A and B are shown apart, each in its own frame.
Chain A
Amino acid sequence: MQEADISILLIGILLKTTLQMATPLILTALGGMYSEKSGVVNIGLEGMMLMGAFAAVWATFLTGNPWIGLVAAALAGGLLASTHAIVSVKFKGNQIVSGTGIILFALGFTTLMLDAVWGVAGDTPEVTPLPKVQLPFLADIPIIGIVFSQLSPIIYLMFVLSILSWFVMYKTPFGLRLRAAGEDPSTLDTAGVNVEWVRFIGVVLSGCLAGLGGAYLSIGFTTRFRKGMTGGRGFVSLAALIFGNWAPLGVFLAGLLFGFLNGLPNIIQVLAQYNSDLAFLMNYIDLIAMIPFILVVIALAGIRKSRPPKGIGVPYEKEAAG
């Protein structure tokens, strides 16, 4: 009886950790989808995430309201993305260079602001995080009750945005145009649609979503901003985007997988507490933490069937002789 309870608890914690780890990845990868489906490579997701995480804490610090922090995160991510859009869509600059610039800028800017606002070098003081959601009617159901207890509202937002993204991408004119812009911009142009606008909006949306992903790290999962707190999650999101074949459902599932791998060390810690036979694993926890990333590389190398948008990475030039 005791045994069964513990294993149910463990499964619950496992799923919950997966969900918590996956949320920032899925949000950011969904963002990346809007940009890359429209034909603009966005490796700056990492920077946009960091910016969102910082903006969320700063706005919450100033106003005392984490909801305003959440909105600020989306706006800050979108603003940073708009510079990427201007460089790579309007001025047809190199999208990789611009994305790298975004990452470096975000890293430098947030470090600078840490000092300017709080006078600290590493961690900000605590701010009010978003209140946790406790759905009353779910608490008594066995495993689900554990999974959905005290979750950040951003996690629910992630579910909504995943479904909404599917709807926007495949059911609306905007989605059709976005996909066309990424496959063959000249076709969209001849159909009488402004390619630059569509791509611009796609890139800005990607920044907004990445900002939300960052906000989850700072005011959803924790209560403060730490220098460089995204720790490569933007790049893992990019991997999830590719692994998920640039489609909302695929991105969602890939994000869950990578989230699970990301949360593996935490889960092992919990396991070791309950079962002393597994305690030796704690000695290798850093090694185990590395495994997911190796798996990511193997998965990406092994998946050959993923099909990127055809026009990705190529600025649209109207004036071509011939």
Chain B
Amino acid sequence: MYAVELENISKTFSGGVQANRNITLRIKKGEVHGLLGENGAGKSTLMNVLYGLLQSDDGRIIVNGSEVRFNSPHDAIAQKIGMVHQHFKLIPTLTVAENVVLGMEPKSSKPTKSGLGTIVLLSAFSIILMGLFLPVEQALLGALILLLSVVILYHIFRMTNPSERLGLNRLGRLGFVLEQIGSIIATLSQNLMPIGYGDAIEKIKHIAEENGLDIDPMAKVEDISVGLQQRVEIIKTLYREADILILDEPTSVLTPQEVDELFVTLERFREAGKTIILITHKLREPMALCDRISVLRDGELVGTVEKAGTSPEELAQMMVGRLVVFRVEKTPAAPSDVVLDVKNLEVLDNRNLLTVKGISIQVRSGEILGIAGVQGNGQTELVEAIVGLRKLKSGSVRIAGDDITGASPRKVRAVGVSHIPEDRQKRGLVLGFTVEENLALGQQYLAPYAKGPLTLFLDLESIQNISQETIDNHSIKVLSSKSLASTLSGGNQQKVIVARELGTKPRLLIAAQPTRGLDVGATEFIHKELISMRDAGVAILLVSAELDEIQTLSDRIAVIFDGKIMAIRNPAETTPNELGLLMAGHESNLEEVSA
């Protein structure tokens, strides 16, 4: 028995990108089904089609044996399908309860104070107006009509379906008209009757208790941790009584411990008979949890395998289409002089909260210092403060002895700092510029990119030549150096940035999330580049949310939590478990916290 059957699904986006090509996928009732593939393989698109967010160009969807057509998530929710998106669909300024009930607000079972107050106010206003402007008998009539409508509204308020209750469908054509009027009134009243938060909170607490998902329904979403936010998302689907649960990259924002907790929860759902579809690009997860695994590549289904009959190596090969070497070849580091010396750095974030709380780190020439941590613990602000994009509150930053505390980004670049920003599309590239313009950015005022008196003019010819050379050397896939940066794939966009930043022959390279969202091939390329820069004597500060990446590349690992460095570890002597605990803020008394 299949819970979901997707038959011959194809989807092409308006830009011409074909995300799904004739995919047929059958998911058994009560199984945990892994959907594995690289970024851009079409996993999310396929599941968004199943959730009704996107409409496929072609193909059929069959849920529990009957064919369905989803025009919006509304229809999918009605079929008991729930989805937890990779980027949470929560509104930060609202409470947990408000977020959960959004779209399925319960009516309050008894009149609320604010509702009663509003009705009393409206009635009083109408009666006074009528009393002032109408003759007595008309005013009385008006008051009567008003009273009647309040009574009717009160009854509608307690009914689920007014036309059913009133038996209108027996009255023929007149009944139809009345029914339509009734449904309009019902819609209005459903939308304008006060929300019964009391009942909702009861239900949320009940769901939370039953599934071991402890949560405070009254907390604001912006105040709770990412792990808890994910919990809210799961509760949201349970509140809608979903039997088929889609989770899109659920572990990408969690600490290892939170991942374990999530897996326990999912295990419990499996026992309760729910069907779970787990989208991921990590190999460890489906192997740990799934019964069957389907692999997508370039919008096509490569195949579906039983977990028992496969291995991570086979899955990786299916994902990438060739053999993959997991280890990065690396010789021991030979660190020498201190290049980056940060002392007691304190930085405020956009909301003026202290986000970096006194960080001191040193990076030596020829080593990679990896900063591990869950996103949002001050990494972004730390990097921005070093490269001059953000004012710092106190502390000092030195590059090989030069004090660059509070210097402008141009000055910082001039002393030999390169920066691969974490948001490549916002900070790394100007998407509306051509590739060669992007490659020249940052050095556009220097020869050989500029010429003439005071290097006032761009040397377009030389820019084109240098760019062409760079494109060839880094095998960036692009039609011409004059293509717009926005037309490149994510991997090639990142290659453009890496090529530009390494081309300046830096003393210090700051790489923030350098491989986020990239496929295995591009990731491999960038890892190799980083290692070879290190071997050439560059100091590298690597910030990444991927623990695997930190562990394979770093020579030392600094764990950041809540704006402080928790500890510095040698990758050979630590375990993911210990790092995970540190990332979650569990103090370790083993080592002095400075480096």
Binding site for B on A (CB under 8 A): 131, 133-135, 153, 156-157, 160, 163-164, 167-168, 171-174, 176-177, 179-180, 183-184, 186-194, 318-319, 321-322
Q: Pick the contact of A174: B77, B122, B128, B191 (CB < 8 A).
A: B191
Question: Closest 3 A-B residue pairs measured CB to CB?
Answer: A191-B103, A192-B74, A173-B105
Query: Given that A171-B112, A172-B195 are known contacts, is A191 also in contact with B190, CB under 8 Å in the complex?
Result: no
Query: Given that A133-B132, A171-B195, A318-B54 are known contacts, is A190 also in contact with B118, CB under 8 Å in the complex?
Result: no
In the complex, the answer to whether B73 meets A191 with C-beta atoms within 8 Å is yes
Q: Pick the contact of A172: B51, B72, B192 (CB < 8 A).
A: B192
Of B59-67, B91-99, B364-372, B437-445, the one touching chain A: B91-99
Cα(A168)–Cα(B77), bound, Å: 26
Question: Who on chain A is nearest to B197 by CB?
Answer: A171
In the complex, the answer to whether A192 meets B192 with C-beta atoms within 8 Å is no
In the complex, the answer to whether A173 meets B195 with C-beta atoms within 8 Å is yes
Question: Who on chain A is nearest to B52 by CB?
Answer: A192
Question: Who on chain B is nearest to A322 by CB?
Answer: B44
User: B410 near A: Cβ within 8 Å?
Assistant: no
B199 CB, nearest partner CB in chain A, Å: 13
In the complex, the answer to whether A190 meets B85 with C-beta atoms within 8 Å is yes
Q: Is the interface on chain B under 10, 10 to 19, 20 to 34, or 35 or more residues?
A: 35 or more
User: B193 near A: Cβ within 8 Å?
Assistant: yes
Q: Which residues of B contact A194 (CB under 8 A)?
A: 72, 74
Interface string of B334-378 (1 = CB under 8 A from A): 000000000000000000000000000000000000000000000
Cα(A267)–Cα(B380), bound, Å: 55
Which residues from 68 to 110 on chain B have a C-beta closer than 8 Å to any C-beta of chain A?
72-74, 76-77, 83, 85, 89-94, 98, 101-105
Q: Which residues of A contact B98 (CB under 8 A)?
A: 176
User: B133 near A: Cβ within 8 Å?
Assistant: yes
Query: Given that A131-B133, A160-B122 are known contacts, is A191 also in contact with B195, CB under 8 Å in the complex?
Result: no
In the complex, given contacts A131-B133, A173-B192, what are 17 additional A-B residue pairs having Cβ atoms less than 8 angstroms apart?
Answer: A135-B128, A167-B118, A167-B194, A172-B194, A173-B105, A179-B91, A183-B91, A187-B89, A187-B102, A190-B89, A191-B103, A192-B74, A192-B76, A192-B104, A194-B74, A321-B15, A321-B19
Question: Who on chain A is nearest to B240 by CB?
Answer: A192
In the complex, the answer to whether A177 meets B102 with C-beta atoms within 8 Å is yes
Q: Which residues of A contact B17 (CB under 8 A)?
A: 321
Q: Pick the contact of A180: B19, B54, B94, B121 (CB < 8 A).
A: B94
Question: Who on chain A is nearest to B99 by CB?
Answer: A187
In the complex, the answer to whether B102 meets A176 with C-beta atoms within 8 Å is yes
In the complex, the answer to whether A163 meets B118 with C-beta atoms within 8 Å is yes
Q: Which residues of A contact B191 (CB under 8 A)?
A: 172-174, 177
Cα(A322)–Cα(B11), bound, Å: 12
Question: Who on chain B is nearest to A133 by CB?
Answer: B132
Q: Which residues of B contact A183 (CB under 8 A)?
A: 91-94
Query: Given that A167-B114, A173-B190 are known contacts, is A193 also in contact with B103, CB under 8 Å in the complex?
Result: yes
B230 CB, nearest partner CB in chain A, Å: 14
In the complex, the answer to whether B118 meets A192 with C-beta atoms within 8 Å is no
In the complex, the answer to whether A321 meets B89 with C-beta atoms within 8 Å is no
Which residues from 228 to 264 on chain B have a C-beta closer than 8 Å to any C-beta of chain A?
236
Q: Which residues of B contact A163 (CB under 8 A)?
A: 118, 121
Question: Who on chain B is nearest to A168 by CB?
Answer: B192
Question: Who on chain A is nearest to B192 by CB?
Answer: A172
Q: Pick the contact of B194: A171, A179, A321 (CB < 8 A).
A: A171
Q: Which residues of B contact A172 (CB under 8 A)?
A: 191-195
B149 CB, nearest partner CB in chain A, Å: 16
Cα(A159)–Cα(B498), bound, Å: 60
In the complex, the answer to whether A192 meets B103 with C-beta atoms within 8 Å is yes
User: B14 near A: Cβ within 8 Å?
Assistant: yes
Q: Pick the contact of B125: A156, A171, A186, A190 (CB < 8 A).
A: A156
In the complex, the answer to whether B121 meets A176 with C-beta atoms within 8 Å is no
Q: Which residues of A contact B194 (CB under 8 A)?
A: 167, 171-172
User: B13 near A: Cβ within 8 Å?
Assistant: yes
Q: Which residues of A contact B236 (CB under 8 A)?
A: 191
User: B115 near A: Cβ within 8 Å?
Assistant: yes
Question: Who on chain A is nearest to B106 by CB?
Answer: A173
Cα(A134)–Cα(B192), bound, Å: 32
Question: Who on chain B is nearest to A131 by CB?
Answer: B133
Q: Which residues of B contact A134 (CB under 8 A)?
A: 132
User: B181 near A: Cβ within 8 Å?
Assistant: no
Q: Which of B103, B112, B194 has the most CB of A within 10 A?
A: B103
Query: Given that A160-B121, A321-B13 are known contacts, is A190 also in contact with B83, CB under 8 Å in the complex?
Result: yes
Question: Who on chain B is nearest to A194 by CB?
Answer: B72
20 of the cross-chain contacts (CB-CB < 8 Å) are A156-B125, A157-B125, A167-B115, A171-B194, A172-B191, A174-B192, A176-B98, A176-B105, A180-B91, A180-B102, A183-B94, A187-B102, A188-B103, A189-B72, A190-B85, A190-B89, A192-B74, A319-B14, A321-B15, A322-B44
User: B129 near A: Cβ within 8 Å?
Assistant: yes
B594 CB, nearest partner CB in chain A, Å: 37
Cα(A313)–Cα(B402), bound, Å: 45
Query: Given that A160-B121, A160-B122 are known contacts, is A189 also in contact with B53, CB under 8 Å in the complex?
Result: yes
In the complex, the answer to whether B125 meets A160 with C-beta atoms within 8 Å is yes
Cα(A182)–Cα(B115), bound, Å: 24
A243 CB, nearest partner CB in chain B, Å: 19
Cα(A157)–Cα(B129), bound, Å: 10
In the complex, the answer to whether A319 meets B72 with C-beta atoms within 8 Å is no
Question: Who on chain B is nearest to A187 by CB?
Answer: B89
Q: Which of B17, B101, B194 has the most CB of A within 10 A?
A: B194
Cα(A177)–Cα(B74), bound, Å: 14
Q: Which residues of A contact B190 (CB under 8 A)?
A: 173
Query: Given that A171-B195, A174-B191, A177-B103 are known contacts, is A189 also in contact with B73, CB under 8 Å in the complex?
Result: yes
A210 CB, nearest partner CB in chain B, Å: 21
In the complex, the answer to whether B83 meets A184 with C-beta atoms within 8 Å is no
In the complex, the answer to whether A191 meets B13 with C-beta atoms within 8 Å is no
Cα(A191)–Cα(B202), bound, Å: 20
Cα(A120)–Cα(B314), bound, Å: 85
Cα(A186)–Cα(B88), bound, Å: 10
Question: Who on chain B is nearest to A163 by CB?
Answer: B121
Q: Which residues of A contact B15 (CB under 8 A)?
A: 321
B83 CB, nearest partner CB in chain A, Å: 7
Cα(A160)–Cα(B93), bound, Å: 27
In the complex, the answer to whether B104 meets A191 with C-beta atoms within 8 Å is yes
In the complex, the answer to whether A176 meets B195 with C-beta atoms within 8 Å is yes
Question: Who on chain A is nearest to B191 by CB?
Answer: A174
Query: Given that A319-B13, A321-B17, A321-B19 are known contacts, is A190 also in contact with B53, CB under 8 Å in the complex?
Result: yes
Question: Who on chain B is nearest to A160 by CB?
Answer: B125
B109 CB, nearest partner CB in chain A, Å: 15
Q: Which residues of B contact A171 (CB under 8 A)?
A: 112, 114-115, 194-195
Q: Which residues of A contact B115 (CB under 8 A)?
A: 167, 171
Q: Which residues of A contact B76 (CB under 8 A)?
A: 192
Q: Which residues of A contact B51 (CB under 8 A)?
A: 190
B218 CB, nearest partner CB in chain A, Å: 15
Cα(A133)–Cα(B73), bound, Å: 50
B184 CB, nearest partner CB in chain A, Å: 13
In the complex, the answer to whether B72 meets A192 with C-beta atoms within 8 Å is yes
Cα(A160)–Cα(B193), bound, Å: 17
Q: Which residues of B contact A153 (CB under 8 A)?
A: 129
Question: Who on chain B is nearest to A307 by CB?
Answer: B93
In the complex, the answer to whether B114 meets A191 with C-beta atoms within 8 Å is no
Cα(A260)–Cα(B125), bound, Å: 25
Cα(A48)–Cα(B44), bound, Å: 43
Question: Who on chain A is nearest to B119 by CB?
Answer: A167
Cα(A122)–Cα(B92), bound, Å: 51
In the complex, the answer to whether A164 meets B118 with C-beta atoms within 8 Å is yes
Question: Who on chain A is nearest to B190 by CB?
Answer: A173
Q: Which of A156, A173, A186 has the most CB of B within 10 A?
A: A173
Question: Who on chain A is nearest to B40 by CB?
Answer: A322
Q: Which residues of A contact B92 (CB under 8 A)?
A: 183
Q: Which residues of B contact A131 (CB under 8 A)?
A: 132-133
Interface string of B308-348 (1 = CB under 8 A from A): 00000000000000000000000000000000000000000
Q: Which of A134, A172, A184, A194 has the most CB of B within 10 A?
A: A172
